[in-house]
Amino acid sequence: MTNSQETLTVRDNRTGEEYELPITDGTISAKDLSRIGTGEENPGVAVYDPGFTNTASCRSAVTFIDGDKGILEYRGYPIEQLAENSTFLEVAYLLIYGELPTEEQHEKWVHEITFHTFVHENLRSLMQGFRYDAHPMGMLMSSVGALSTFYPEARNIADEDIRHDQIVRMIAKMPTLGAWAFRHGQGKPYVYPDNELSYTENFLSMLFKMSEQKYNADPRLVKALEVLFILHADHEQNCSTNAVRSVGSSQVDPYSSVSAGIAALYGPLHGGANEAVLKMLRRIGTKDKIPAFIEGVKAGNEKLMGFGHRVYKNFDPRATIIKKACDDVFEVTGVSPLLEIAQELEAIALADDYFISRKLYPNVDFYSGLIYEALKFPPEMFTVLFAIPRTAGWLAQWRELVDDKDQKIARPKQIYTGDRQLTFVPASERWK
Ligand code: CMC
């Protein structure tokens, strides 16, 4: 047995035996704990950690977060610098391939993405089959899942060239599918991609173009959307990324894995929070109702949506950048009346001991909903606007997973709490 300082000594008081477990990168291997057993009845200690609050599921070199210091870095580059000086497609390349692209790589990458924005016409028919009031996120989730049937070679996940093709396709087609899901709800014709436009300009064109020859988006809005896309591109092992990795660990194709990520992002505690923020602000309605609302939150009646984070316990660096983007967007669109309520709510909460003692601060969703609303998106579109850029992060994490020799099919343990060894009585006897 090794005896160094980088170990943890565990004494099993049931047997008096001591075990020395190596500490690597601040973690012990859960597998090592399985050696601590007392025999057949107690085969080995396991870790009980619902929600993975203190469990590392992988080694990753994609995104670094220091929640206490409010640091977020993609491949080592601070988010503030990327948001200020980069583009979404360059950031996507960085996340997926680990390095900033050379000029040549960048040109090829942008060209490839731009020329894969069209989708098969049958997929268009599939989307048109949804009900008139279908939630766009449900449409996105299903159509991304359906893409796997259009590219059956995608299941060959060990082939780097095939993997690259699917990565390009997914990043390229996501805005098309997202925009069509939006147009569907509006009863408007789907707009085909315009390959002369940039990634975000093209997305805005597919969303809002009507009869004009060419859609010209306001450059300030294009820039704001670009920043929002960069901020949302990855966030290490969050719920949806964990879903992508967990499903991907079965070695299924990446469309199916990303579709699982979209499903996870759909939920109100994850990507759906900004929609919930907007609903909350509307419900509060006027500033004088804020104190009563805060009292309700403190009494446990509900949560202050857009506040709190599993990782950030000081501030969310994305929230700081997004506040600035908010100003830029409102310069074009005019100020939302809900902004005042949001600002007052934030000020009151940040001065209140309930929120201070629990380290609850505004997260990225507190202001993003206001921007999306100013851009004329209905709340159901907010998670779609999150899913499009997050696809880059999901794919970066998926690619890393596929190449990681430590990874196995995800299969957590359980603590069984149900009955045992009951005797089955057939229905014909039970219902007599
Ligand atoms: N409002 C009021 N109380 C809260 C809130 C909130 N938004 N968030 C956490 N708390 C309280 C919680 O009740 C608990 O109190 P106590 O210790 O008295 O039981 C304490 O703070 C710790 O909270 P937790 O639920 O253990 O924290 P968590 O890490 O499990 O949850 C969270 C993180 C983001 C799910 C949670 O803060 C939350 O539900 N926030 C509102 C939803 C939201 O804004 N989600 C967006 C997250 S950011 C986008 C993303 O990255 O996905």
Cβ–ligand 1 distance for 124 under 6 Å, the answer no
Using the predicted structure, report yes or no on whether residue 236 has a pLDDT greater than 60. Answer: yes
Pair type for strands 71-74 and 7-12 = unpaired
Q: Residue 36: inside a domain, yes or no?
A: no
What spacing in Å lies between the alpha carbon of 220 and ligand 1's midpoint?
Answer: 33
What spacing in Å lies between the alpha carbon of 349 and ligand 1's midpoint?
Answer: 14
Positive or negative torsion for Cα 249, 250, 252, 258: negative
Give, for 22, the enclosing helix (H) or strand (E): strand 17-22
Residue 250: which domain range?
87-401
Q: Which of 234, 253, 316, 365 is catalytic?
A: 365
Q: Which of 116, 232, 235, 309 is catalytic?
A: 309
Cβ–ligand 1 distance for 270 under 6 Å, the answer yes
Q: Residue 12: inside a domain, yes or no?
A: no
Using the predicted structure, report yes or no on whether residue 1 has a pLDDT greater than 70. Answer: no
What spacing in Å lies between the alpha carbon of 236 and ligand 1's midpoint?
Answer: 18
Cβ–ligand 1 distance for 319 under 6 Å, the answer no
Mean pLDDT of 224-251: 96
Residue 4 has what pLDDT? 61
Atom 15 of ligand 1: nearest residue by CA position: 358
> Which parts of 266-381 fold into alpha helices (H)?
273-284, 290-298, 317-333, 337-350, 353-357, 364-374
Residue 204 has what pLDDT? 95
Q: Which of 32, 270, 328, 404 is catalytic?
A: 270
Q: pTM of this prediction?
A: 0.90
Q: What is the chain's length?
A: 432
106 is catalytic: no
Residue type, 185: G
Cβ–ligand 1 distance for 232 under 6 Å, the answer no
Q: Residue 372: inside a domain, yes or no?
A: yes
Burial of 250 (0-12, 13-18, 19+ CB in 10 A): exposed
What spacing in Å lies between the alpha carbon of 222 and ligand 1's midpoint?
Answer: 32
- Structural domain tally of the chain? 1
232 is catalytic: no
Q: Residue 154: inside a domain, yes or no?
A: yes
Q: From CA 286, how far away is CA 79, in angstroms rounded?
A: 34
Residue-wise pLDDT for 393-414, tens only, equals 999 999 999 999 999 999 999 9
Residue 203 sits in a domain of what CATH number?
1.10.580.10
Q: Which of 73-77, 156-160, 380-384, 388-392 has the lowest mean pLDDT?
A: 380-384
Q: From CA 274, how far away is CA 54, in angstroms rounded?
A: 26
Q: Residue 120: inside a domain, yes or no?
A: yes
Residue 14 contacts residue 38 (beta carbons within 8 Å): yes
Q: Residue 431: inside a domain, yes or no?
A: no
Q: Residue 25: inside a domain, yes or no?
A: no
Cβ–ligand 1 distance for 123 under 6 Å, the answer no
Residue-wise pLDDT for 49-99, tens only, equals 999 999 999 999 999 999 889 999 999 999 999 999 999 999 999 999 999
Q: Residue 81: inside a domain, yes or no?
A: no
Using the predicted structure, report yes or no on whether residue 310 has a pLDDT greater than 90. Answer: no
DSSP secondary structure code for residue 288 in this structure: G
